[in-house]
Amino acid sequence: MSEVVVIGAGVGGLSAAVRLATAGHRVTVYERAGTVGGKLGRHVRSTPAGSFRFDTGPSLLTLPHVVSDLLGDDLSGHLVELDPIVRHRFPDGTVLDSCADQATFTSRIAEAFGERSADEWRRLWRRAERVWQTSWRHVLSAPARSTLGLSTLAWRAGDLAAIGPGQNIRSVGRRYLSDPRMRTLLDRYATYAGADPRRAPAALLAVPYAELRYGGWYLRGGLGTLADALLARCDALGVRVRTGTRVVEIEAAGGRVHGVRLADGALVRADVVVANADALEVYRDLLPDRRRAARLRERSLAGFVLLLGVRGRTPGLAHHTVLFPTDYDAEFDDVFGRPRDGMVARPARDPAVYVTVADDPLVRPDGHEAWFVLVNAPPHGDNAAGVDWASSSTAHGYADRILDVLAARGVEVRDRVLFRDVLTPADLQLTTASPGGAIYGTPAHGLSGLRRPGNRGPVRGLFLVGGSVHPGGGLPMVMLSAKIVADQIGSA
């Protein structure tokens, strides 16, 4: 029986703990925050009208079979399939509702944009299916490989043309889709990997395929229910979960790990350490490695969040609604900056706005709505080249701006807001130790962007899980990273 220490009780850390305890290891999880869940955060606001409950991280669950593979039927009573998965509203007023039934979705495309656009989507869908099949076999469910290795695998699978080395999501959209609104829809999926669609590899076609093939799901009571279920399974397996306990160093010598050191100076011995922390934090702070850390300095998209308690009900909104801007490229120029032109990153002036309003009595009082409003944002930086999101004036001024944008796009809510709470990239950095508050670690830019930091660390006995490492961000990917690691560690 091995002694395993897991650093961080996010979804990746808890998933790894469940798998390793099931395999017979003794597992202890140390979490710096007072609660589990990591980026799968929750926020409760009490008012005279009643309590509002918000998910502050992921708001959509995909690939539910990945969850059931780990937890069985533990969440079956909570799962709700969404139709539409997302309601897309374009600047000209056109609306397109996505769903997991492709015949229905293509008919909706035909109704909104014409039969030509539906035929183009069917052709793109066939390519996306090939990308998904190759990705699932050789990337998402397998240990990380080199960039050259990925290309070789795709070639052996007969799918190199679908993977499209050197192509990006934007170029694929231009090749297959003639309607600029459909191109905008495809561009948005690059942001699921924290990337700019003009630099995101074409292999990210797997992202819309996964969502539109296996569906989008909600958990009654909020997605934070997943963290509760993982914690309950850990408790049942005898995993020790220590919240409010920060790990400050991974102890390693002689080419292998020996344990971790806590903030109070205590040394905890371990045969195996699984780090559910941003890879940059691991290689910058916990086990310093300048070369590895230097590769991870580019940060992915962050998020600016408004949590709104709203009186009454709002017509025209689905569970998830995206309101697109007139110029999507201007948003990416703002958020990522244009270093060659001397343009530093800044809050997007006219961003796409993502609104989640769950029709769930468990998360809002009667006669009210709990709104989660998200826009892409540059990471936090307290230097001249970054955005100081810790500044109250910056945060609240931008909150006003987002409410103005909603009103300009036909969603006037300012006169019905009971309260608003603001969460910035600086808040995410503080609560989860994610450098800059970047949601996905490093962005998936270029073919090399598909090769995130590996799950096996540079010393024996060290492994990494979570959204900043292979196979990527998002709840199912994080849970797959835990499976990959558990399989590599093996049984006790």
Q: What pLDDT, in 10s, does the model give residues 366-415?
A: 999 999 999 999 999 965 557 999 999 999 999 999 999 999 999 999 99
Q: Is the pLDDT of residue 299 over 90?
A: yes
Which position has the higher pLDDT, 452 or 110?
110
Q: Between residues 46 and 448, which one has the greater pLDDT?
A: 46
Residue 123 CB neighbours (<10 A): 12
Reported as type and span, the H/E element at residue 377 is strand 368-377
Residue 327 pLDDT exceeds 90: yes
> Where does the pLDDT of residue 163 fall: very low under 50, low under 70, confident under 90, or very high at 90 and above?
confident
Q: Is 420 a residue whose pLDDT tops 90?
A: yes
Domains of the chain with CATH codes: 3-40+224-296+443-489 (3.50.50.60), 107-215 (no CATH), 298-437 (no CATH)
Calculate the CA 289 to chain-centre distance: 26
Beta carbons of 377 and 424 less than 8 angstroms apart: yes
H-only helix segments in 136-275: 147-156, 160-163, 169-176, 180-188, 206-214, 225-237
Percent of the chain with pLDDT over 90: 88
pLDDT confidence tier of residue 117, bands split at 50, 70 and 90:
very high
Looking at the DSSP bridge assignments, the partners of residue 373 are 306, 355
DSSP one-letter string for 36-90: SBTTS-EEEEEETTEEEEEE-S---B--HHHHHHHHTTTTTTTEEE-SSS-EEE-
Q: Encode pLDDT of 436-479 as tens digits.
A: 999 999 999 976 556 789 999 999 999 999 999 999 999 999 99
Q: Can you give the pLDDT at residue 153?
A: 54
Other CB atoms closer than 10 Å to residue 347's CB: what's the count?
22
pLDDT at 229: 98
User: Is pLDDT at 147 greater than 60 in this prediction?
Assistant: no
Contact 425, 374 (CB under 8 A): no
Calculate the average pLDDT of the chain. 94
Distance, CA of 15 to CA of 47 (rounded, Å): 34
Q: Is 488 exposed, middle or buried (0-12, 13-18, 19+ CB in 10 A)?
A: exposed
- pLDDT of 405: 98
Q: Can you read off the two tokens belonging to residue 170?
A: 């934007």
Q: What does the pLDDT look like over 90-109, one tens digit per residue?
A: 999 999 999 999 999 999 99
- pLDDT value of position 72: 95
Beta bridge partners, 52, equal 45
Cα–Cα distance, 409 to 292 (Å, whole number): 44
Which pLDDT score, from 0 to 100, does residue 80 have? 97
Share of the chain above pLDDT 70, in %: 94
Among 148-162, 295-309, 382-396, top mean pLDDT goes to 295-309
Residue 149: pLDDT over 70 = no
Give whole-number Cα distances, 131 to 362, 402, 473, in Å: 38, 36, 18
Which residues, in sequence order, are CB contacts of 195 under 8 Å at separation 6+?
204, 300, 301, 443, 444, 445, 449
Question: Average of pLDDT values for 414-424?
Answer: 98
What is the per-residue pLDDT for 427?
Answer: 97
Q: Does the structure show a pLDDT above 70 at 150?
A: no
At 139, is the pLDDT very low, low, confident or very high (cuts 50, 70, 90)? Answer: confident
Which tokens sit at 358?
């769950």
- Predicted confidence (pLDDT) per residue in 183-241, tens digit: 999 999 999 999 999 999 999 999 999 999 999 999 999 999 999 999 999 999 999 99
Give the C-alpha separation, 469 to 478, whole Å: 9
pTM of the entire predicted model: 0.95
Distance (Å, whole) CA 99 – CA 81: 10
Distances (CA, A) of 491 to 1, 7, 172: 8, 20, 43
pLDDT on residue 287: 98
pLDDT higher than 90, residue 311: yes
Q: How much is the pLDDT for 450?
A: 64
What does the pLDDT read at residue 152?
53
Average pLDDT over residues 66-91: 96
Length of the chain: 492
